[in-house]
């Protein structure tokens, strides 16, 4: 480990000065760590009585279209500079980024970027948006905050893709530098989180989603569905009711097809029939923007006006076409407002 790249963490207390024991307050696991112990996420470590982030600045970088981040209502078809950090506080059996999420920081071979370099690469690539996602970005909280701040200061928009299982105070701080958030809901109860992700809690994630809306930040929500996960149309019904009653029926929900990965390599991809049943369930509940995601060229990847039914945005596996939404975010046909950010 390169000692010169260690960065003292925030949101922790020394709870035993004599024994040099610290407690991390970044997420609800509230890990208590003796010297040389790492947290559940592996990305934070007690070194001689201080808590350090082991991954400050470490990330892989790529350029995507924003739809690759399962975000459809925030600058559709925009070029996005995405930074994938390392480690995660959950261990989901269907994780698509296990090479990043569960690596020992001492084995990381990726590049190290300063916050200013993040903004510089975003501008140089012609991207409108800088995204922190793929693995769980908030494990590298201090770096993501610093890089998001630097990006916003240079006129870029910032997208955060997170599982949302974090404490309120760090979430409040990071939201000062974020324009949009994709929350990846894993399931709808504590038992499900324990079974699928070895921890976590929907109630805490729900608090995060409410906090995002209270701060008037654009929000979209996703959930991976598969019959073997017990994430099915009934699960979506419960989640849709929560979104409608506790958040807003305007919030887009992405019903994502699971592809075999990590500990689900023995499973087949989610059946389209299940996704379509879940779509109808969410529609019956009254959500306005429901998407079947990760199924190329499916008709329910398109955006329709909730008022008149006109097709507003067409998405294929290769492109996104804004056909009938004005820059003011209204349906060109009936002039109804659409929950969307275009400028």
pLDDT digits (tens, 9 = 90+) for 162-203: 999 999 999 999 999 999 999 999 999 999 999 999 999 999
Specify whether the CB–CB gap between 156 and 129 falls below 8 A.
yes
The span from the CA of 285 to the CA of 267, in Å, is: 30
Q: CA dihedral defined by 292, 295, 297, 302, rounded to 10 degrees? A: 20
Under the phi-then-psi rule, with left for phi > 0, alpha for psi from -120 to 50, and beta for the rest, what region is 188? alpha
The neighbouring-strand residues paired with 159 are 131, 180
Cβ contacts of residue 335 below 8 Å, gap of 6+? Answer: none
What share of the chain has pLDDT > 70, as a percent? 99
* Start-to-end Cα distance in the chain: 43
- Residue 110 — pLDDT band, cuts 50, 70, 90? confident
Cβ contacts of residue 29 below 8 Å, gap of 6+? Answer: 39, 40, 89, 199
Cβ contacts of residue 7 below 8 Å, gap of 6+? Answer: 52, 53, 56, 57, 142, 143
pLDDT digits (tens, 9 = 90+) for 10-21: 999 999 999 999
Token pair 């654009």 is at which residue? 218
Token pair 């809306």 is at which residue? 213
The span from the CA of 300 to the CA of 275, in Å, is: 10
Specify whether the CB–CB gap between 81 and 65 falls below 8 A.
no
**Whether this model's pTM surpasses 0.85:** yes
Token pair 């070194």 is at which residue? 47
Residue 67: which H helix or E strand, with range? none
Residue 95: the pLDDT is 96
Residue 174: the pLDDT is 98
**Does residue 295 surpass a pLDDT of 80?**
yes
Residue 128: the pLDDT is 95
The span from the CA of 40 to the CA of 63, in Å, is: 30
Output the average pLDDT for the chain. 96
What are the Cα distances from residue 97, in Å, to 85, 87, 137?
10, 9, 12
**Does residue 2 surpass a pLDDT of 60?**
no
Look at residues 224, 296, 302, 291 and name the one whose alpha carbon lies nearest to residue 259: 224
**Does residue 55 surpass a pLDDT of 60?**
yes
**Does residue 278 surpass a pLDDT of 60?**
yes
Specify whether the CB–CB gap between 5 and 53 falls below 8 A.
no
- Residue 60 — pLDDT band, cuts 50, 70, 90? very high
**Does residue 4 surpass a pLDDT of 70?**
no
For β-strands 129-133 and 79-84, DSSP reports them as parallel
Cβ contacts of residue 10 below 8 Å, gap of 6+? Answer: 141, 142, 170
- Residue 3 — pLDDT band, cuts 50, 70, 90? low
272, two tokens: 């389209």
The span from the CA of 88 to the CA of 71, in Å, is: 21
Specify whether the CB–CB gap between 63 and 127 falls below 8 A.
yes
The span from the CA of 20 to the CA of 267, in Å, is: 45
Residue 175: the pLDDT is 98
The neighbouring-strand residues paired with 322 are 313
CA angle (25, 113, 138) in 5-degree steps: 25
Give helix then strand counts, H and E, for the chain: 8, 18
The span from the CA of 263 to the CA of 84, in Å, is: 21
CA angle (180, 321, 186) in 5-degree steps: 40
- Residue 101 — pLDDT band, cuts 50, 70, 90? very high
């Amino acid at each position: 480990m390169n000692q010169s790249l260690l960065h003292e963490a925030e949101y922790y207390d020394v709870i035993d000065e004599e024994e040099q024991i610290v407690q991390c307050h970044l997420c609800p696991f509230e890990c208590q760590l003796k010297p040389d112990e790492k947290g559940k996420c592996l990305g934070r470590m007690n070194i001689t009585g201080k808590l350090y982030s082991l991954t400050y600045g470490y990330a892989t970088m790529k350029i995507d279209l924003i739809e690759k981040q399962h975000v459809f209502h925030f600058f559709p078809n925009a070029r996005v500079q995405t930074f994938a950090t390392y480690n995660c506080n959950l261990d989901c059996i269907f994780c698509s980024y296990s090479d990043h999420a569960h690596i020992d920081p001492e084995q990381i071979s990726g590049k190290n970027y300063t916050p200013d370099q993040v903004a510089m690469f975003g501008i140089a690539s012609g991207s409108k948006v800088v995204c922190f996602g793929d693995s769980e970005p908030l494990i590298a909280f201090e770096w993501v905050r610093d890089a998001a701040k630097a990006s916003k200061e240079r006129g870029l928009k910032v997208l955060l893709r997170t599982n949302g299982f974090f404490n309120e105070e760090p979430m409040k701080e990071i939201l000062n530098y974020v324009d949009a958030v994709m929350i990846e809901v894993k399931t709808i109860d504590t038992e499900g989180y324990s079974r699928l992700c070895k921890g976590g809690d929907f109630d805490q994630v729900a608090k995060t989603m409410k906090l995002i809306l209270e701060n008037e930040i654009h929000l979209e929500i996703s959930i991976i569905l598969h019959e073997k996960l017990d994430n099915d149309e009934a699960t979506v019904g419960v989640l849709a009711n929560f979104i409608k009653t506790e958040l807003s029926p305007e919030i887009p929900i992405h019903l994502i097809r699971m592809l075999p990965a990590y500990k689900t390599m023995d499973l087949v991809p989610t059946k389209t029939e299940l996704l379509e049943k879940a779509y109808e369930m969410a529609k019956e509940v009254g959500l306005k923007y429901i998407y079947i995601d990760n199924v190329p060229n499916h008709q329910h990847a398109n955006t329709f006006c909730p008022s008149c039914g006109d097709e507003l945005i067409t998405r294929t596996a290769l492109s996104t076409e804004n056909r009938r939404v004005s820059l003011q975010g209204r349906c060109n046909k009936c002039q109804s407002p659409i929950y969307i950010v275009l400028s």
